Structure 1
């Protein structure tokens, strides 16, 4: 399974927003400038996060994006789903129906070993993503690189929009 780079951008943006002061918003242009990303493309990802209730957006001179809920309440799966959609990665096309024989009433998504294995793998992947929050990622970064939150805030302060 291949996800778009928008997932990575969205996750990094959520972590960076988690380091802002409570109530502080960050314009999309500054978030994009932080990583030298195209502002229009990142804004598309940020809008998807806002539609999913992960971010809120405020207009005006002090406007921008901020987390809509606590970082402990935003999972990696929430972000992936907001950007990529909720569809299953594997879709059983029931190709076994093409084999001659009586297939009336058979749901191959439930009886096909391949379909079942793919579903179990996807569920394990989703459980792993659902079990990790933005707060977990934030703590990991802070443990590995304690200066990162301050560095992020300083870099935002020095970026021009």
Structure 2
């Protein structure tokens, strides 16, 4: 399974926003500069996160984006679905309908063992992502890289105040 680069940037962006004091908003330009991305590309991901209720948009000279919910209530699946959409990774095209002895009236998505196996794998992947919150990821990063919160906050906020 391959996800777009947008998922990676969306997860990193949400994680970095957990370290901003008081839920401070950060501009698309600052976020894009942090990662060396074109602002328009990153803004597309931020807008998708905003539509999904993960981020909120703040207008004005100190505007930008901030987390709309507590990190404990944002799962990695929420972020993936916001960027990639809700569709399953495997799309059964019902090839068995075109094979020998096929019954055109049968919905092979439910009886095909290939389709069932792929659906089970997709569900397991989604369960794993749904069980992992942004808060848990934040805690893991802070254990592995204790300086990360201060480095991120300082980088985003330098020159802003």
- TM-score, scaled relative to structure 2: 0.95
Gaps of 5+ in 2: none
Cα distance in 2 between the residues matched to 1:65 and 1:53: 11
- 1:105 is displaced (CA, Å) by 3.5
The match for 1:67 is 67
Size of the aligned set, in residue pairs, is 160
The match for 2:98 is 98
- 1:23 is displaced (CA, Å) by 3.3
Cα distance in 1 between the residues matched to 2:102 and 2:122: 30
Cα distance in 1 between the residues matched to 2:159 and 2:27: 11
What does 1:3-152 align with in structure 2 at a 5 Å threshold? 3-101=3-101, 103-152=103-152
Contact 2:17-2:23 at 8 Å conserved across structures = no
Gaps of 5+ in 1: none
Cα distance in 2 between the residues matched to 1:36 and 1:155: 13
- TM-score, scaled relative to structure 1: 0.95
Cα distance in 2 between the residues matched to 1:57 and 1:155: 20
Q: CA RMSD in A?
A: 1.3
Q: Which moved more, 1:62-71 or 1:93-102?
A: 93-102
- 1:2 is displaced (CA, Å) by 1.0
